[in-house]
Amino acid sequence: MPDSAFDEPGDLRVDRTPDKSGDQQDNHSENAHRRSARRAALGVLVRAFPGWTGLLAALAVLGGALPSVFALLVGRLVDLVPGAVRGGFSSPDGRRIVTTLVLVGGLLLAQEVVRMVRELVSNELYRRFDEYLLSRVMATILGVPRLDLFEDPVLAAATDRAVRIARFGPGELVSGLSTRWFGLAQGLAAAAVAAYVWPVAAVVIAPLWIVLGHQLRADAFRANPFWAEPLRRAGYLKRLATMPEWAKELRIFGLAEWLVDRFGVEWRQVMEQLWRTRRVGYRVSGTLFGLALLANVAVVVFVAHSALTGGLAVGSLAVLVQSMFGMAQLASQEGDVWIENGAIPVPDVLAHERLAATRVPAKVPTRTARGLPAREIRFEAVHFGYPGRERPVFTDLDLTIEAGRSLAVVGLNGAGKTTLTKLLTGLSLPQAGRILVDGVDLADLDPVSWRRSVAAIFQDFVHYPLPARDNIGFGAVETLADPDVAAVDARVRAAARRAGAEQILDGLPGGLDTYLSRRHTGGVDLSGGQWQRIALARAMTAVSAGARVLVLDEPTAHLDVRAEADLYDRFLDLTSGLTAIVISHRFSTVRRADRIVVLDGGRVVEDGSHDELLTADGRYAALFRTQALRYTDEAHTTAAGDA
């Protein structure tokens, strides 16, 4: 089990309990929240796995009851010993002792068997529940066809909270319940046995342990350092020191010592805060514990006196003393942390599902996009803004993209170029206006079929830490399932050739099976430019599989001058017969396009070919000249340096 308190900083509990000053009202609502989370989690568990949960509960109850049966048998043995000593094993008491010893042996065996089976069932249910709930979260996220769950701030926060369930694994709930049910059954069975021998003992002691258990649980949650701000900071520092992303900069700037010192400071604050809070609750718990101890001592003295004066059989004394140990289980905290870890995120998962359901269209359009666009894609008075952002990106965007030709989109940072591609690919929906594909509203086309018609490589394309074959084949994932492996590889290589990535593949030690990540044995890391070609090859796979629209968002951003020139040379080949939309800040890429539009202020402000726009001497021409001048300057400087 992970060290729950310190394993993952910035835990979900932080969001819910922003200011925990030990205030009573806060504690009440926090406890109520935890109770309802536990109920919700148990509800989900029982509904999903009624049989397994029932079996686990039965085994816990059985396992918890057996020690009390053992106590009764020991009591019986104690009572029989004097008679057996007097009359020998052949006497009635002697025979009873033998029978009882056989029962004790059988019981010990049964106890071990029940323990092992309970562990097996608990482990199995742990894994099943883990898989069940994590799959549910994944299905919810992947079930929303657009990007709402990541772009709408309210939904994004709910998504963040829901995915945190993966940190501890919801299966911990099962381990916790198994332990807790076992302890509870053990305590209650012991109380029942104590009540059978001397009811007063059970009535006095059992409630005290129950109240103490309740109090200790409340203390533990009050003193839970999850909410402590210093813990979040310490956790961040820990990640900073240990994750590869930051390794370079930390070393370059010599931040190691600072990091260790800072971590120590934050950690000490966490511990101080923890103990300050703990001291408050532990006074009450300490008093209750003292009372419980006193009650136990009083009962022992009383029953011992009764046994010595003949008022109570010695065997009953033995049973009672054992059951007093058993009753202490009623205050046990074992399993609580696991229950919390597993249960607390469950309401977040359920809330996320409810929110996500509002973003799943009730009726998915079924009209196929196959063969589209043959004529054009037309943006008609499109209005689009991101949720939570005051200013819309597009207010009244009109743009017609001719099918089978290439269009470059130019504009300053934040002009809306990437947003345009998200609208075009159907990942975002316009809030007003329409996008028509050969006259058909994009909203009326089957989204899956439309996405098959579009091959897009975004600026932040994915570096899959998977074999090269997958990285390229994902452009048409269904083709990877082809049993003819040679044909799959031939397709992958053809796509790579088209994207200029063939040499990269040739250099891979394990061919197409090579993992593109050093974290795998035999894997390799690629440079930014090499990754970009692999991503381009992925798009080419989609094109070979029938995509008719190619969207390239900054395809040359990571390429060196030679690679950029190479792409420039093959641009016509790459885009031939396709409706290509290219976004780039590099004019060497842009000028190759049949047509160029300049975006500004949410609209198209210039539109034409490279030459036309230069002649028009507007914004495009100014941007082009600025860049050209820089290159010329660089060329001069280099030439001068060479000389």
Site residues (vs ligand ATP, CB under 6 A): 151, 386, 389, 393, 411, 413-419
User: ∠122-125-129 over CA atoms, to 5°?
Assistant: 135
Task: Kindly state the tokens that stand for 79.
Answer: 């009572």
Q: How far is the CB of 585 from ligand ATP (least distance, A)?
A: 7
- Residue 158, φ and ψ in degrees, nearest 5: -65, -40
Q: How far apart are CA 577 and CA 559, in angstroms?
A: 25
Q: How far is the CB of 557 from ligand ATP (least distance, A)?
A: 10
User: Is 377 or 409 the residue whose CB approaches ligand ATP more closely?
Assistant: 409
Q: How far is the CB of 598 from ligand ATP (least distance, A)?
A: 11
Those residues whose C-beta lies under 8 Å from the C-beta of residue 256, and which sit 6 or more positions away, are 241, 250
User: Is 479 or 588 the residue whose CB approaches ligand ATP more closely?
Assistant: 588
Cβ–Cβ < 8 Å for 165, 345: yes
Q: How far is the CB of 397 from ligand ATP (least distance, A)?
A: 12
Cα dihedral 69, 71, 77, 79, rounded to 10, equals -110
DSSP state of 595: E
Cα–Cα distances (Å) from 298 to 68, 209, 558, 633, in that order, read 22, 15, 80, 96
Task: Kindly state the tokens that stand for 267.
Answer: 């950690």
User: Is 107 or 557 the residue whose CB approaches ligand ATP more closely?
Assistant: 557
Three-state SS string over 27-40 comes to HHHHHHHHHHHHHH
User: Is 414 or 483 the residue whose CB approaches ligand ATP more closely?
Assistant: 414
Q: How many residues does the chain have?
A: 643
Those residues whose C-beta lies under 8 Å from the C-beta of residue 235, and which sit 6 or more positions away, are 6, 8, 9, 10
DSSP state of 201: H
> What is the three-class DSSP state of 382?
strand
Q: In what order do the strands lie in the sheet containing 595-600?
A: 454-457, 549-553, 579-583, 406-410, 595-600, 603-608
Residue that the structure tokens 């597009």 belong to: 394
Residue closest to 41 by CA, chosen among 139, 182, 212, 168 = 168
Q: How far is the CB of 411 from ligand ATP (least distance, A)?
A: 5
Q: How far is the CB of 348 from ligand ATP (least distance, A)?
A: 22
User: Is 151 or 229 the residue whose CB approaches ligand ATP more closely?
Assistant: 151
User: ∠218-222-224 over CA atoms, to 5°?
Assistant: 115
User: Is 184 or 593 the residue whose CB approaches ligand ATP more closely?
Assistant: 593
User: Is 170 or 416 the residue whose CB approaches ligand ATP more closely?
Assistant: 416
Q: How far is the CB of 385 from ligand ATP (least distance, A)?
A: 8
Cβ–Cβ < 8 Å for 607, 620: no
CB-based burial, 399-437: b 16+ in 10 Å, e otherwise: bebebbebbbbbbeeebbbbbbbbbbbbbbbbeebebbb
Q: How far is the CB of 415 from ligand ATP (least distance, A)?
A: 4
User: How far is C-alpha 159 from the geometric centre of its chain's CA atoms?
Assistant: 9
Cβ–Cβ < 8 Å for 225, 270: yes
DSSP state of 467: B
Q: How far is the CB of 505 from ligand ATP (least distance, A)?
A: 29
Q: How far is the CB of 412 from ligand ATP (least distance, A)?
A: 7
CB atoms within 10 A of CB 264: 12
User: Is 36 or 459 the residue whose CB approaches ligand ATP more closely?
Assistant: 459
Q: How far is the CB of 541 from ligand ATP (least distance, A)?
A: 25
Q: How far apart are CA 200 and CA 221, in angstroms?
A: 33
Q: How far is the CB of 460 from ligand ATP (least distance, A)?
A: 10
User: Is 369 or 410 the residue whose CB approaches ligand ATP more closely?
Assistant: 410
Residue that the structure tokens 């009730």 belong to: 362
Q: How far is the CB of 418 from ligand ATP (least distance, A)?
A: 3
Q: How far is the CB of 440 from ligand ATP (least distance, A)?
A: 25
User: ∠525-527-508 over CA atoms, to 5°?
Assistant: 50
Q: How far is the CB of 638 from ligand ATP (least distance, A)?
A: 27
User: Is 186 or 584 the residue whose CB approaches ligand ATP more closely?
Assistant: 584
Crossing angle between the packed helical segments 314-327 and 172-197, to the nearest 10 degrees: 150
User: Is 84 or 397 the residue whose CB approaches ligand ATP more closely?
Assistant: 397
- The strand pairing partners of 550, in sequence order, are 455, 580
DSSP state of 511: G
User: Is 28 or 389 the residue whose CB approaches ligand ATP more closely?
Assistant: 389
Cα–Cα distances (Å) from 499 to 262, 538, 604, in that order, read 48, 9, 30
User: Is 185 or 539 the residue whose CB approaches ligand ATP more closely?
Assistant: 539
Q: How far apart are CA 216 and CA 191, in angstroms?
A: 20
Q: How far apart are CA 459 and CA 417, in angstroms?
A: 11
User: Is 150 or 275 the residue whose CB approaches ligand ATP more closely?
Assistant: 150
User: Is 302 or 386 the residue whose CB approaches ligand ATP more closely?
Assistant: 386
